Chains A and B, each alone.
Chain A
Amino acid sequence: MTNLFITHIPAPTPTGFTKQQTIGGIKLLWDNLTTSAASSYLLYSSTINDRDTATLVAEVSETDYFYATTDNTTIYFWLRCRSAWGQVNGDWSSGVNAGLSSQTELVRTVDVIPNAISNFIIAESVGVNNIVSPYSAYAPIFNTSFTSSGGRTIIDASYDNLSATFTSNNLNTMLARVYQRNLLIDNFYGGSDTSLQKTVFGSSQVEPHGDSNPWQNLANINTADLNQYADVTWSATGKADGLYLYNYDFSAIPDDAYIYDVKLEIVMDASNISGVPKVFVRLCWDGSDFPTKGGDDSSLVGYNITASATKLNYTFGGLAESNLSWAGRFIRSTATDLHRISVADVKDSKFGIRIFPTNDISPAGTTLKIYRAAITVSYTTKKVIWDHAFATNLYRSNYAYVFNPYKTLTHQLENNHNYTYRIDAMAETSTPATDIVNIYAQNCFINVQEVKR
């Protein structure tokens, strides 16, 4: 049998553990391992070089600690990390009998020069290949790193026309994210990922098929009660009316949001399944008058459902269907509007679901019942901060994705802390495969300014 065993990620091993002997105590410093999933650091000490005798001094989230002492005794230190998931399960900074030793200084010998800035680096762009589960990868566009020593500091870094290479054949979305001190700033400009489900529609319309068996009880499915249903009966001609449900009211979605998924949910059954009754379901998004052509598009594939004799829930699209991602491929085909579905589209009063009982139902007299026809729209209001970016070779087309406008990043810096900012481009694909997608970022830059206090 194949085994899938999941264990705790070990906390990282401390690095850069060093000391500064000062008057009145010992300052201990170590590397920031936040990017290696360290959440805090546990400092142990002993007066003899034997870790088994050491006791916990402090657990801190900073990368330094001042150990106050005045008696000039040699102290031995060991450091250990707690992981981002609360586990203290990594290695120590050094061996049992290899503690970091230090004493307090009796005479002050040096001062730190104020207003010094060092280690300002713009890194090379990095290509990303072989995207694997969960089908996304990040490529750093550039990094800036510097140490603030106080006073007024202005860092202005920019880079033009960098590229990163992703391996994919079905590129669904691109996002840009900003990292500060190697932590993702989800809320730097506010925003969140949200899913909004609507089970109630505002309007409905019937597409007559020429028979005299209209839809019944339409108001009944316009509730959250899954015991209520609307129904239609196939006539002797073998046909039944189509149904268009719309005006779902997605007005709560902010106008500057980015739609990244749409999912449909149909709950239905049929009174007789001997004729393999089928229902074809598709979205209508652009508000064209129904039933004239234009409310749907031939390039958008709908779904053919074979109804069951028992009430079942059918969903289409949705993030869990990694290889389906209906909304992820929800690309308009008109030549003048080559972007994914927009907020305006889902807010349009004609945005809705079209349901067509197909012709091959038999025997006549079979009744189709629909208990729910819901739409879930997933969107994000997170912002990106580069001027603009574009991608080529997206999902069998050469669509250009234009990101949100550049915005100034302002953050007050603390003295004597190391800061790293990074802009990443993310490619999210529906399947890992072999085609190459090139992502280009133009005019992306970060401007950091410290205001003198």
Chain B
Amino acid sequence: MINYIIFTKSSGEINNSVTAVADSIDLAYIQLMHPDFDPVLQDFMETTDQVSTISEYVVSGVITARPLFSTVATLNKSVITADNTDSATLGSGLPNPTTVVGLQIPDGGEYTPAITTITDGSLVIKSAVAGQISFNLRAFPYQNQLFTVEAI
């Protein structure tokens, strides 16, 4: 078996990590097995082990661990009072921009405007509605992470 990865040249983001039953791989093999492969934007390389598409990426041809959000920002509390006053702060060194995706809020709640990116390094969370608030943060090359705050 051969382990190989397909990654984005510009960012080093690993798009596929595959263990294949093959003696060797070349461009023709990659294009056959991955019809979506774009040789202009993507590259491939053989690896010693299986590589995680989630926690690793390619830096100058070397498999490197993607950093954690916790190295730049942490949530100061995970439980807040649902009084629209108490708050939890995630900060203060989030990358610019950091994308907020998968926001889940309690039933009966709404937020305006929709939060899609954080450009100032931190996020303050308040709620008048009891329940769980959760969201994912993305800012490559940091590992995607799920954050959860409980409003009670």
Taking Cβ atoms with an 8 Å cutoff, the residues of A that contact B are 1-9, 83-87, 132-135, 278, 280, 293, 298-299, 301-304, 320-324, 358, 360, 396, 431-432
Contacts and interface: CB of A to CB of B under 8 A. Distances in A.
Contacts of B139: none
Interface string B74-100: 000000000010000101100000001
Contacts of A278: 49
B4 to A, nearest CB: 11
A5 B84 contact: yes
Contacts of B106: 6
Given A6-B129, A85-B108, A322 B50 contact: no
A4 B126 contact: yes
Interface in B123-143: 123-129, 133-134, 136, 138
Given A293-B21, A323-B136, A4 B111 contact: yes
A357 B90 CA distance: 37
B123 A2 contact: yes
Contacts of B107: 84-85
Nearest to B108: A85
Interface of B: 1, 16-21, 36, 48-54, 84, 89, 91-92, 100-111, 114-115, 118-129, 133-134, 136, 138, 144, 146, 151
Given A1-B91, A5-B126, A360 B48 contact: yes
A293 B20 CA distance: 12
Contacts of A280: 49-50
Contacts, number: 117
Contacts of B92: 1
Tell me if A's interface is mostly helix, strand, loop or mixed: loop
Given A134-B103, A303-B52, A9 B110 contact: yes
Given A6-B126, A7-B128, A8-B129, A1 B120 contact: yes
A299 B18 contact: yes
A3 to B, nearest CB: 5
A1 B108 contact: no
Given A1-B122, A4-B126, A298-B21, A304 B51 contact: yes
7 contacts: A2-B119, A6-B105, A6-B133, A7-B110, A280-B49, A304-B51, A323-B144
A2 B118 contact: yes
Given A3-B126, A7-B128, 11 more contacts: A1-B89, A1-B122, A4-B103, A5-B125, A5-B127, A6-B128, A7-B129, A133-B102, A301-B19, A320-B134, A360-B49
Contacts of A358: 49
A2 B124 contact: yes
Contacts of B151: 6
B84 A298 contact: no
Nearest to B91: A1
Contacts of B127: 5-6
A360 B49 CA distance: 9
Contacts of A134: 102-104
Given A135-B102, A298-B18, A302-B50, A6 B110 contact: yes
Given A1-B123, A5-B111, A301-B16, A133 B21 contact: no
A279 B122 CA distance: 35
Contact of B109 (A1, A9, A132, A431): A9
Contact of A304 (B52, B103, B136): B52
Q: Which of B89, B92, B127 has the most CB of A within 10 A?
A: B127
A83 B48 CA distance: 58
A409 B133 CA distance: 37
Q: 7 tightest A-B contacts by CB?
A: A85-B108, A6-B127, A6-B109, A1-B122, A9-B110, A304-B50, A322-B102
